[in-house]
Amino acid sequence: MFDLEEEWSISFAGCGFMGIYYIGVTSCILERFPRFIQDASKIYGASAGALMAAVITLGIPLDKCCADLMHMAKEARKHHLGPLHPAYNLLQIVQDSLLGKLPEDAHVRASGKLCVSLTRVSDGKNLLVSQFDSRDELIQALICSCFVPLYCGVVPPTYRGMYYVDGAVTDNLPRCHLGKTITVSPYAGESDLCPRASTLSFHEVRFNNVSIQVNSENLYRVTSTFFPPDPEAMAEICQNGYMDALRFLQENNLISSESPLRGLQMDACCEEAKKSPEQHGPKQRQGDHWWLNPQLIQKLPVNIQQVLCTACRESHTASGLLTQLSEYLPKKVTSYLPFESARSLAQRVKGWIPDVPRDMSWLLSVAGVKQPLKEKVEHKKSQPLLRRCTSLPSDLNVFPVSPEGPHTSRGTLTQNTDAVTGCVPLTPFNTPKKNVDSGLVEATVSAGRSWGLGRALGLLRNFGAEQTSDTKETTDPVSLAAAK
Q: Using CA atoms, how far apart are residues 281 and 55, in angstroms rounded to an integer?
A: 42
Residue 180: its pLDDT value, please?
87
Please determine, for residue 45, whether its predicted confidence score (pLDDT) is greater than 90: yes
- Residue 184 in any domain: the answer is yes
Whether 47 is catalytic is yes
Residue 455 lies in a domain: no
pLDDT digits (tens, 9 = 90+) for 147-185: 998 898 888 999 998 999 999 999 999 988 887 899 999
Residue of 166, 171, 244, 267 marked active site: 166
The count of domains in the chain is: 1
- Integer angstrom CA distances of residue 31 from 181, 255, 259, 296: 21, 11, 12, 19
Query: Percent of the chain scored above 70 by pLDDT?
Result: 58
Pairing mode of beta strands 9-12, 42-45: parallel
Rounded distance, CA 200 to CA 341, Å?
45
Instruction: Note the pLDDT of residue 65.
Output: 94
Q: Percent of the chain scored above 90 by pLDDT?
A: 42
Q: What is the pLDDT of residues 262-295, one digit of tens each?
A: 544 445 666 666 555 554 444 444 456 778 888 8
SS3 state of residue 207: strand
Q: Rounded to an integer, what distance in angstroms lies between the CA atom of residue 316 and that of residue 285?
A: 14
Bridge partners of residue 127, in order along the sequence: 118
Looking at residue 205, its pLDDT comes to 87
Of 9, 47, 97, 211, the catalytic one is 47
DSSP codes joined into one string, 119-149 = EETTT--EEEE---SSHHHHHHHHHHHT--B
Q: For 410-440, how does the pLDDT look when each residue is reduced to its tens digit (9 = 90+)? A: 444 444 444 444 444 444 444 444 444 444 3
What distance in Å separates the CA atoms of residue 368 and residue 347, rounded to the nearest whole number? Answer: 29
d(CA 228, CA 389): 76
- CA gap 140, 142 in Å, rounded: 5
State the residue range of the domain holding 17: 8-257+297-327
Cα angle, residue 45 at apex, residues 42 and 50 outer, rounded to 5°? 115
Q: Of 24-33, 117-126, 243-252, 311-320, which gets the smallest average pLDDT?
A: 311-320
In tens, the pLDDT along 357-400 reads 666 665 666 666 554 444 444 434 433 433 334 444 444 444 44
303, pLDDT greater than 90: yes
DSSP string computed for 82-98: GGGSTT--HHHHHHHHH
How far apart CA 213 and CA 199 sit, in angstroms, is: 10
**What does the pLDDT read at residue 94?**
94
Task: Write down the pLDDT at residue 287.
Answer: 52
* Residue 257: Cβ within 10 Å count: 9
The predicted structure's pLDDT at residue 55? 96
Confidence label for 315 from pLDDT (cuts 50, 70 and 90): confident
Residue 374 lies in a domain: no
Q: Is 60 exceeded by the pLDDT of residue 348?
A: no
160 sits in the region (left: phi over 0; alpha: psi -120 to 50; else beta) called left
Q: Is residue 75 part of a domain?
A: yes
Its sign, for the CA torsion 176, 177, 182, 185, is: positive
List, in order, residues 6 or more apart from 218 with CB less than 8 Å away: 187, 188, 189, 197, 212
Q: Which CATH number is 233's domain given?
A: 3.40.1090
Indicate the residue type of 478.
Answer: V
Neighbouring C-beta atoms of residue 16, cutoff 10 Å: 23
Amino acid at 467: Q
332-354 mean pLDDT: 54
Measure the CA–CA gap between 335 and 316, rounded to whole angstroms. 19
270 is a domain residue: no
Question: Is the sign of the CA dihedral 314, 320, 323, 328 positive or negative?
Answer: positive
Active-site residue flag, 395: no
Residue 450 or 71, more confident: 71
Tell me, yes or no, whether 273 lies in a domain: no
Residue 272 within a domain: no
In this prediction, residue 29 carries a pLDDT of: 95
Q: Give the model's confidence band at 308: pLDDT under 50 very low, under 70 low, under 90 confident, else very high.
A: very high
Q: Is 287 in contact with 210 (CB distance < 8 Å)?
A: no
CB 186 within 8 A of CB 22: yes
Tell me if 128 is assigned to some domain.
Answer: yes
